[in-house]
Chain A
Amino acid sequence: MAEHEDTTHVEHEHTTHSQIFYIAIGVALLILTATTAAVAFVNLGPLNPVVALLIATIKAALVVIFFMHVKGASEKLTSAVVVSGFFFLAILLTLSLADYLTRSWR
């Protein structure tokens, strides 16, 4: 198992996308930025922060997947590292909130 992980991915040519593709992703990111700024002025009630974070996450995902090349030729290990980072951040946030949201004297 270990050997597979280390050797089977010969990834010299992992930047598989063209220049045009990268610029297109960049344009998509700019459009999303404009969208999130515009949507912020529309009253969606409690959905405003949800939408803002959703768009931010889409943007972050675009950057991670296409600019940082996590998808495609790169290994599963890289994805595992990224996911573990966000997983432990989620632990920090949720378990802290478990305290703050249940304090009866607030």
Chain B
Amino acid sequence: MHDSRAIPGPASTTTTQVATADHEVHNPALLHHFADAQQQKNAASLGMWLFLVTEIMFFGGMFCAYLIYRLAHFNAFAAGSQQLDIKMGAINTAVLIVSSVTVVLAVKAAEVGKRKLLTGYLVVTVLLGMTFLVVKGFEYKEKFEKHHVPGPSFNFTDKFDDNGKQIPVNSKEAELFFSLYFAMTGMHALHMIIGCGLFGTLAVLAWKGHYAPSYFTPIENAGLYWHLVDIIWIYLFPLLYLISRHS
């Protein structure tokens, strides 16, 4: 890209003369097929963003299902949503937001080459991610106890509103809501597990000094992934937990 060497002859000639490739002293992290570190970094960044687009479309399929079913079965969705634990949902949202802050601080620490600080932020991020998963686990446990897990033992009866009035809810449609709930949060949790593994690995590598201000692309790209998983939760929280809470 930044090559300004002599232009080979007219179009029809070939460039097969054996050239002694002038290899400068390379950054050890620079792969052979890139011209320079900037090109490599730009390529990695674009690649990561494209991967995030695939994630958007991946979750998009479920958001599409959610939108259509919510419009079709609003009452059941509202009743199902009100059975979710809003406190746990809100706490988890906060946990993820704080973890996003630690991620962005980790990137900043990497940029200025503070190895211990970087490792610290990465470890804290992993711990926050695990906190999220533990809270999620308690929520799932509650669902099992209340028979709100779709399947033969699903049971959704006797739902009352705040005034003690029974809400007429089609329990089959509520099962559909919980199917979506488990599909969406389950897929999100899977991404969290992958993220925790990723950041754990990065923390080890960071501690060993793999990253320097000249090269910390993996930290940046893993950060982008973490933020996207955070954004998905930012949408999941109101869509799943906050349907018609006022009624």
- Asked whether any CB of A lies within 8 Å of a CB of B in the complex, the reply is yes
Q: Does B144 contact A (CB under 8 A)?
A: no
A56-B234 CB under 8 A given contacts A22-B108, A40-B245, A85-B57: yes
Q: Does A1 contact B (CB under 8 A)?
A: no
Distance (whole angstroms) from the CB of B36 to the closest CB of chain A? 10
Contact, CB under 8 Å: A96 / B68:
yes
Contact, CB under 8 Å: B98 / A60:
no
Residues of A within 8 A of B237 (CB): 33, 36, 56
Cα-based distance from A68 to B245 in the complex (angstroms): 32
**How many residues on the B side are at the interface (Cβ–Cβ under 8 A)?**
52
Residues of B within 8 A of A66 (CB): 104
Q: Does B45 contact A (CB under 8 A)?
A: yes
**How many residues on the A side are at the interface (Cβ–Cβ under 8 A)?**
54
Contact, CB under 8 Å: A97 / B238:
no
| Chain B proximity mask over A19-53: 1 for CB below 8 Å, otherwise 0 | 10011011001100110110011111000110011
Q: Which of A10, A34, A68 has the most CB of B within 10 A?
A: A68
Cα-based distance from A49 to B246 in the complex (angstroms): 12
Cα-based distance from A29 to B95 in the complex (angstroms): 11
In the complex, identify which listed stretch (B14-22, B48-56, B163-171) lies at the interface while the others stay far away. B48-56
A85-B108 CB under 8 A given contacts A29-B97, A56-B237, A63-B230: no
- 8 further A-B pairs in the complex, CB-CB below 8 A; given A10-B38, A77-B46, A85-B56: A15-B107, A29-B97, A48-B246, A55-B238, A56-B235, A60-B234, A63-B234, A82-B49
